[in-house]
Amino acid sequence: MTAQDPNRVFKSGFVTIAGAPNAGKSTLLNRIVGQKVSIISSKPQTTRTRILGVCHRPGAQVVFYDTPGIFAAGDRFNAKIVGTALSAVAEADLLLAVVDAARPDPAAEELLAEKIAGRRLPVVIALNKVDLIAEKGALLAMIERWSDRRGCQAVVPVSALDGTQVEELVAALIAALPEGPPYFPEEALTDATERFIAAELIREKIFRLTGEEVPYASAVTVEAFKVSADGRKVSIAATIHLERDSQKGIVIGKGGAMLKRIGSEARREIEQMTGASVFLKLFVRVQKNWRKDAKAIERFGY
């Protein structure tokens, strides 16, 4: 059957992906969409904004919002980030709650369940990272526990990393969506600009290559994104903002080695995305305690 089959209705809707930090939300979105639209790292709180990804399947279109992890935020910046996730939850037709099934965390589960209860939204639960679970029996108890939650439409164990059962999850989501039109043209996978994704990819490399507080104190802005007339060259100037001189030292590294590595790894991925050869110039700036400054938070895109 195809989307044109007159006996089959077209289904569509907006699905917000919510869960604790590091549960694998962005990995799952990229897997479903089939392209990297959202950045990923092994550190929690990688995603800071709402990232849109469109999933096209025969007879259906699912518009996903990837969101920052929901956790008990202690300061202004993190409260804003978590607020972004919660407002995306409020706008959804359907919620996809992602749980790290390999590291069950009752407190995180409770917080998530509490934030989504009361919204009266249907929820599909993905128990992620099953590739890490040897004892599959333990999953059964989790499936039962989540099935009892209010609004639960389905519980699907998946691995966003290796793709196990991800299509079953997509089918469960489509089954829970109403009849509706496609909202995006068939070739659209995201509404994010290449300029925005480039800034995110640079931030991803900082998350992956530096430690301690450095990733959390970093923000990236793109000052210039110029495509040559023939489309074969892209020239980018971007700034990494940090909170202290010591962090600037770490990001630059000995003899500039770290900055060079961040730049070349980001450049390679931006080249993949644009299909052009990329010239990337990175600057590093210190803006003292920017995460406490409402204006700076906004200027950096949060």
Q: Binding residues for Mg ion, per CB under 5 A?
A: 25-26, 46-47
Choice between 61 and 165, CB closer to ligand GTP = 165
User: Least distance from C-beta 112 to ligand GTP, angstroms?
Assistant: 12
Q: How far apart, in Å, do the first and last CA atoms of the chain sit?
A: 43
Query: Which range of residues in 155-163, 210-218, 225-233, 248-256 is near ligand GTP by CB under 6 A?
Result: 155-163
Nearer to Mg ion, 84 or 235 (CB): 84
Pick from 12, 16, 26, 274 the residue near ligand GTP by CB under 6 A.
Answer: 26
* 5 or 168: CB nearest ligand GTP: 168
CB-based contact 34:74 (threshold 8 Å)? no
Count of residues interacting with ligand GTP (CB under 6 A): 24
Instruction: Report the residue number, 144 or 162, with the smaller CB distance to ligand GTP.
Output: 162
Taking Cα atoms as reference points, which of 23, 210, 238, 204 lies closest to residue 111? 23
Q: Give the nearer residue to ligand GTP in terms of CB position, either 32 or 63.
A: 32
CB of 119 to ligand GTP, least distance (A): 19
Q: Is 42 near ligand GTP (CB under 6 A)?
A: yes
The residue among 38 and 239 lying less far from ligand GTP, judged by its C-beta, is 38
Residue 161 as a binder of ligand GTP (CB under 6 A): the answer is yes
Binding ligand GTP (rule: CB under 6 A), the pick from 21, 53, 122, 215 is 21
Cβ neighbors of 4 (< 8 A, separation 6 or more) are none
Which residues neighbour 3 within 8 Å (Cβ) at sequence distance 6 or greater?
A: 10, 58, 59
- The pattern of x and - marking residues 74 through 93 that bind ligand GTP according to CB under 6 A reads --------------------
Q: Pick the binder of ligand GTP from 13, 24, 53, 122 (CB under 6 A).
A: 24
Residue 247 touches ligand GTP, criterion: CB under 6 A: no
What's the min distance (Å) between Cβ of 87 and ligand GTP?
16
Q: How many Cα atoms occupy the beta-carbon half-sphere of 272 within 13 Å?
A: 11
> Least distance in Å: CB of 164 to ligand GTP?
8
Q: With respect to Mg ion, which residue has the nearer C-beta, 12 or 49?
A: 49
The partner in contact with residue 13, picked from Mg ion, ligand GTP, none with C-beta cut-offs of 5 to 8 angstroms by kind, is none
Residues at the contact surface with ligand GTP, assessed by CB under 6 A:
19, 21-27, 40-42, 44-47, 68-69, 128-129, 131-132, 159-161
